[in-house]
Amino acid sequence: MIEVLVVGSSSKGGFLRFNKPIDIPGAITKTAPDFCTVYAITKGKLSTKKTASRAAPSVSPLRIQLQQNGLKPHPPLPSATTNTRAERQSFESQHRRSLDDQSDSFRPPYNKRGLTGRSYGELSIPDSEISFNSSGRPSIERNSPSLYDNSDPNRTPPRLSNFSDVDYCSFESMTFGRRSMDLSSPTAFSTGSFENERFSSASQGGDDVEAEMRRLKLELKQTMEMYSTACKEALTAKHKATELQRWKLAEERKFEEAKLAEEAALAIAEKEKAKSKAAMEAAEAAQRIADIESRKRVDAEMKALKESEARTKAVNALAKDVRYRKYSIEEIEDATEFFDDKYKIGEGSYGPVYKCYLDHTPVAVKALRPDAAQGRSQFQKEVEVLCSIRHPNMVLLLGACPECGCLVYEFMANGSLEDRLFRQGDSPALSWQTRFRIAAEIGTVLLFLHQTKPEPLVHRDLKPANILLDRNFVSKLADVGLARLVPPSVANTVTQYHMTSTAGTFCYIDPEYQQTGMLGVKSDIYSLGIMFLQLITGKPPMGLTHYVERALEKGNLKDLLDPAVSDWPVEDTTEFAKLALKCAEIRRKDRPDLSKVILPELNRLRVLAEESTQAAVVINSSGPTPTESQTSSPKL
């Protein structure tokens, strides 16, 4: 028995506008038993509901009715003797009513009391035999040969069939245990005429059943089409609702994104507004600064113009470009008493050197020899170099006398380094601390000359005789008359600046420069190496590199050092000797770099010498140092 029935109801539209609508859900709701709850669904919504008023009985009333109708006796057939027309008509009418009653008992539940409420797929084969064939048309099959008294024993009773064979109840399910209902029973009619009439009457009743079944089939087909349409519409509506919900969520998300984008845009707009305001303020400040700078620039231009005018006046006033003190010939002759030999203190590269006083200052005057080949040009060159550059370790040019070719220098109280190394005038020997300091000072001033701008300056005549010492034994480079400006592009190259004639002193001149005339900054490095060897040995330059090299190989360098100094630091002096030998290499490319190799080592030795001197001063604070106790007046 069915306690809950759900049916679909089509909308009032479509093809129902042109056909008479059939309210199947309403008919089912009206004819459903009171123990069955019926729900009618239209477009996915509940349109009609009928609630059960009582519980379902344990035994189906339909089954009892079917059993009663199946056991109902057939009306008696007329006897063979009654063959009148009135009797036959009376019998046919009674038989037809009997057949109508039995057909009513065989009518399926959906025709008598509406649909069962169960979906087509929920009816199983044992429950229903009403089905449709592949073409969608219900067919009637005969299940029992005893339904009608037919001459063909092989005919089957009518049966509804479909492609699923599982929809609705068939005539076979109306009986008990799929038992055929035999409408005929053995009768006592024996006459052939009555049998024919009974068969014709039964055939007429079968036609009525066929017509009724066709009508039911049509109604069921329409119902199925309407239900299928309703299902499709419900599914479409569900899909549309899903799409609508999805669209709604997407729109909400877009709205949130748009809201966030709007907020971000507002924030960016605020930032841009603040930036624009700051930029405007900065532009105003920049404009003010530009105005101030413009005024300053105008003032500077005016000032520069005034300075340029003043400089032009000064240049015009000094048309001869005299940048040194000019002494007259009378002043020089009065100071030297007409170049008396008692004032002569030495001999320079191009003339004698006199000591005298000019402007109450002791000076050294270099006089040009009349027979000097390049005296005049060398004089002019030295004046130009000494007037253009200044260094603490270069001899200071105080003035000149162009008339007689005299140069006036500051007076160096302790003469030349050569005089001190060979102890001219029985002067005391220089300590190793003083020698290391002098070596560092010479390296410093030589680097200064090599880095002169715009072109490097090469001395070309570096030797102890051109290193002068003041009263504090501070060394200063002199005699720069042979110095030569070298183009910077060839200052450090292998193929150096070519000179037409060599200049310098034998044993100190660069061998490559002497052979090829190629001049470079490393030409002075060779002379520096020879001079360093003389600093530690106190010996002449001839063959000195060979002697020192052999002493280093034999390990007896200490025997070759200047014996006037007894406290040589052997290890540091050995390193100094090796550096001097590298500087005195025959090939120029084998000599070390002055700024990167030589000078750092010289500075290290100078620091060592200063530390040793300070320690000696602390120990002998009451007595003077050997260099400070020198009282003789050596010649320049």
| Structure-token pair, residue 255 | 């709205």
Mutual angle of helices 432-450 and 570-583, in 10-degree steps: 30
Q: From the candidates 461, 479, 510, 524, which is the catalytic residue?
A: 461
Q: Which residue(s) pair with 355 in the sheet?
A: 364
Q: Please tell me the distance from the alpha carbon of residue 624 to that of residue 621, in angstroms, as a whole number.
A: 8
Q: Are 10 and 16 in contact (CB under 8 A)?
A: yes
Q: Please tell me the distance from the alpha carbon of residue 173 to that of residue 177, in angstroms, as a whole number.
A: 8
The residue assigned the tokens 């119902």 is: 223
Nearest to 62 by CA among 6, 104, 121, 4: 104
Q: Please tell me the distance from the alpha carbon of residue 359 to that of residue 217, in angstroms, as a whole number.
A: 152
Q: Please tell me the distance from the alpha carbon of residue 133 to that of residue 160, in angstroms, as a whole number.
A: 8
Q: Please tell me the distance from the alpha carbon of residue 636 to that of residue 435, in angstroms, as a whole number.
A: 18
Helix (H, G, I), strand (E, B) or coil at 325: strand
Q: Give the largest Cα separation in the chain, rounded.
A: 205
Q: Please tell me the distance from the alpha carbon of residue 531 to that of residue 540, in angstroms, as a whole number.
A: 10
Q: For strands 397-401 and 325-326, give the pairing.
A: parallel
Q: Please tell me the distance from the alpha carbon of residue 235 to that of residue 233, in angstroms, as a whole number.
A: 5
Q: Is 419 a catalytic residue?
A: no
Query: Which residues does 554 contact at the CB level (< 8 Å), separation at least 6?
Result: none
Active site residues: 461
